[in-house]
Structure 1
Amino acid sequence: MSHFFHLDGVLHADSVALPAIAAQFGTPTYVYSKTALLENFASFADACEGRDALVCYAMKANSNLAILDLLAQRGAGFDIVSGGELLRVLAAGGDPRKVIFSGVGKSKAEMRLALTHDILCFNVESIPELHRLNEVAGSMGLTARVSLRVNPNVDAKTHPYIATGLKANKFGVAFDDALEAYRNADDLPHLEPVGIDCHIGSQLLDDAPLLEALDKLIELVDALAAENIVLHHLDMGGGIGIRYGEDGETEPVPVADYLGRVFARVDQWRAEKYAGAPIKVIFEPGRAIVGDTGVLLTRVEYTKPGAEKNFCIVDAAMNDLMRPALYEAWMDVREVAPHDGPAMLYDVVGPVCESGDWLARERALTVKQGDLLAIMQAGAYGLTMSSNYNTRGRAAEVIVDGSELHLVRERENPADLFALESLIK
């Protein structure tokens, strides 16, 4: 169920009216539902119940400490892509032994940090990275647990910027090179190959490409076992999408159905080849956990009619929510307190000095100056992708817990933005 709904003509987050949030915290503000977050995580956790499986939240989607803390309390692991994200996990009380470190450009300092905290595994994405990690681990007198992120050359049928599993993408080790890469890893004295990983893209509405990638991983695990390189976990990555509400948009695959098909295929394989011996299965969902848990609350500054277009100028901008400008992503826009009367078609745009600064195009709205709008399904890749372009402070973040409000990130002010700068004396 949605936790954002109109009640008595006003859009609410759970039992709190959005105008009350705007009055208390200002705009633009990201508003999240704690209940929605926990329900989404439970859809993964419940499907894994009774199995050797781990849900590692892909925190690049939304890395607010309060959200990480809520998920850690429920047993979540974390998929990270930087040393900074690891420090966030630790600050939120997350367990480093449930951390998977992905990413193509890990530095020596990041490797040392992760080894110091004994993370679960490094998802290694190139041969040079294997050798660097071996060197760093050796200098610390440690052994690094590794999984190779294998690029299965499977078309995820998603936006090219978020497709990651094709030969043309920068991610992972090519499938045809993976066997030799594992041999290399097995020979290096300070590495321990423990798993295999793939992630073919984001905002996937159909699980057929993911299941195709699973079959290719199984093929590789079998080939490795024949050479006495025995892996202990299989990481399917993330990528399951959400519905953004565009007309004609495909409904995403239900989480329980996707995980059920993965487990059924894994069980069949293990029964046929390994007398039922289990293998741990790891998932790395991000958007599917936080995407529909949040909205971006924004206020109309002006309405500006034009000869070819009408503009609804709001106080949120591309620096607050980058997805439309970056991906031409469709975002649902709702009036917080709709008016009676005829609607007009508007492009919803922000105050940033770029023609690419738009949040939605050609939306039928009945709005006037001072009204509130909510950009829906904004819980993922909102604040984490935001910037300070035009010296704009990033938005506040608020979590709604039933009738209670928690400010979990204060709004930045201009002085915050240049506090680290200095004049030439």
Structure 2
Amino acid sequence: MEQRVTRLGTNGLPEAFQQVDLAALAAREGTPLYVYAAPAIRERVRGLREALAGLDAGIRYAVKANGNGAVLRLLAEEGAGADIVSGGELQRALRAGIAAADIVFSGVGKSDAEIALALEVGIGRFNIESRAELDAIQRIAAARGDRAVASVRINPDVDAQTHAKISTGKAENKFGVSIDEARAWFAAKAQWPDVQLDGLHMHIGSQLLSLDPVREALARMAAFWKELDAAGHAIASIDVGGGLGVRYREGEHAPDAREYADAIARALAGFRGRILVEPGRWLVAEAGLVLTRAMLEKHGEQRSFLVLDAAMNDLLRPSLYDAWHDIVRIGGADGRDATTYDVVGPVCETGDTFATGRTLPRCEAGDLVAILGAGAYAASMGSTYNSRPLPAEVMVDGARYAVVRRRQSLEEMLGGEQPATDWKTP
């Protein structure tokens, strides 16, 4: 299957959302409302799988991008495994039908309880990021009588050319270890007899729109693999990470799956082990949007504001990363004059801003608006700040839809709270 650039219809919405009546959906399920398009997710994962067909490769979806159970189940049906960074994500993946053997556990801070759970269910591999973690896995595996399978996450010190907050492969970042430290671990691996240290892992950052940093990092990874192989250390797995970028605005293009697979094949030519890739955003970001209604227009002395019923607690990316999301009025221009707005939410923070100086057809209270590119690092980063319950999520497939997370009620949000009447002494 050839990967297609995300196409927008004349109404500004991606093709995968054209068959469903979004206005009727919002009227029925309320707003804010996350909407995920199943066909778009299937197309991406199938395109990547076919691009990798000439390699002994497995897809390990980065659950942190979007951990909704329906999304995970769809990906599991398509043969994807999971890359997880917490015990909660581990249980989400298992519940969705992803086999434990197809799960890799990444992250710089795995607790003893999480390590023990991962060993208990038999995950495929740990990606180890520090000497302290390696020692902990050895201690816990020995106590349980288990043998952990592990890869070393190397930090190749490559600039991913992305936002500083999602760059993970430079020496100053908290992730992974230097090649020098990893080399010492392999030389001394007899110190950890219950850890089968036979893999390499890297991940240099997220929202990569150029493959040049990937190629540079792959070259450093490949050189280290060959060095280890020559020294007698058999490497069974090389995990090249993820981070492929997506189109958030006009002029941006997602890296092509075939070019990505070709870069991996060229760098790792001659490798006889298993290759793993960890896409998250690339698989799901463009398959999601947020439906939200205009609450009011506010015209200040210097700026005009469009206040939506969605807020930064629902979609944090613009506030956290200064991220761009295309915004579309459902119903199009409808003969209305163009108006330049700062598009904001009702949360009591100046940072509760989705866009600054954005030109849209003039909007009135009650108008429906879609914020595009919200399938990744969106609902998964949501909160109940300002005591705002979490929004509902639905999945669409053609003209049909299913609720995949019901809207949180105030009672559910407050359910864990209680008055300070049951006093105890530590």
Q: Same fold (TM over 0.5)?
A: yes
TM-score bracket for this pair, using the shorter chain length: over 0.9
Deviations 1:18-51 (A, max 9, x none): 1011011100001011000100111111112243
1:289 has 2:283 as partner: yes
Shift of 1:182: 2.4
1:240 has 2:236 as partner: no
Aligned equivalent of 2:259, options 254, 257, 261? 257
1:199 has 2:203 as partner: yes
Task: Report SS of the residue matched to 1:345.
Answer: strand
Q: What count of residue pairs does the alignment treat as equivalent? A: 415
Matching residue of 1:360: 355
Deviations 1:206-255 (A, max 9, x none): 11111111111111112212332111111110000001114xx4423212
Matching residue of 1:412: 408
Shift of 1:176: 2.5
**Structure 1 CA distance for aligned equivalents of residues 312 and 64 of structure 2:** 18
After TM superposition, the runs of 4+ consecutive aligned structure 1 residues lying more than 3 A away are 1-12, 184-187
Shift of 1:424: 1.7
**Structure 1 CA distance for aligned equivalents of residues 200 and 75 of structure 2:** 24
1:388 has 2:392 as partner: no
Matching residue of 1:152: 156
**Structure 2 CA distance for aligned equivalents of residues 184 and 406 of structure 1:** 53
- Cα separation, partners in 2 of 1:98 and 1:186, compared to 1, 3 Å: farther
Matching residue of 1:274: none
Q: Bigger CA drift: 180-189 or 25-34?
A: 180-189
1:337 has 2:358 as partner: no
**Structure 2 CA distance for aligned equivalents of residues 129 and 145 of structure 1:** 13
Shift of 1:11: 9.6
Structure 1 unaligned residues grouped into runs of 5+: 271-276
1:41 has 2:45 as partner: yes
Shift of 1:3: 7.1
Kept after mapping to 1: 8 A contact 2:8/2:14: no
Identity, in percent, stands at 42
**Structure 2 CA distance for aligned equivalents of residues 296 and 49 of structure 1:** 34
Aligned equivalent of 1:32, options 27, 32, 36? 36
Matching residue of 1:221: 225
Structure 2 unaligned residues grouped into runs of 5+: 422-426
TM-score (norm 2): 0.94
Q: Which amino acid aligns with 2:74?
A: L
Aligned equivalent of 1:13, options 13, 17, 26? 17
Task: Report SS of the residue matched to 1:151.
Answer: coil
Deviations 1:355-379 (A, max 9, x none): 0001111111121111011000110
Task: Report SS of the residue matched to 2:342.
Answer: strand
Task: Report SS of the residue matched to 2:214.
Answer: helix
Task: Report SS of the residue matched to 1:16.
Answer: coil
What is the root-mean-square deviation of aligned Cα atoms in Å? 1.7
Shift of 1:186: 4.5
Report matched runs for 1:9-408 at 5 Å.
Answer: 13-246=17-250, 249-267=251-269, 270=270, 278-338=272-332, 339-366=334-361, 367-408=363-404
Kept after mapping to 2: 8 A contact 1:350/1:358: yes
Kept after mapping to 2: 8 A contact 1:234/1:282: yes
Shift of 1:10: 12
Q: Which amino acid aligns with 2:331?
A: A
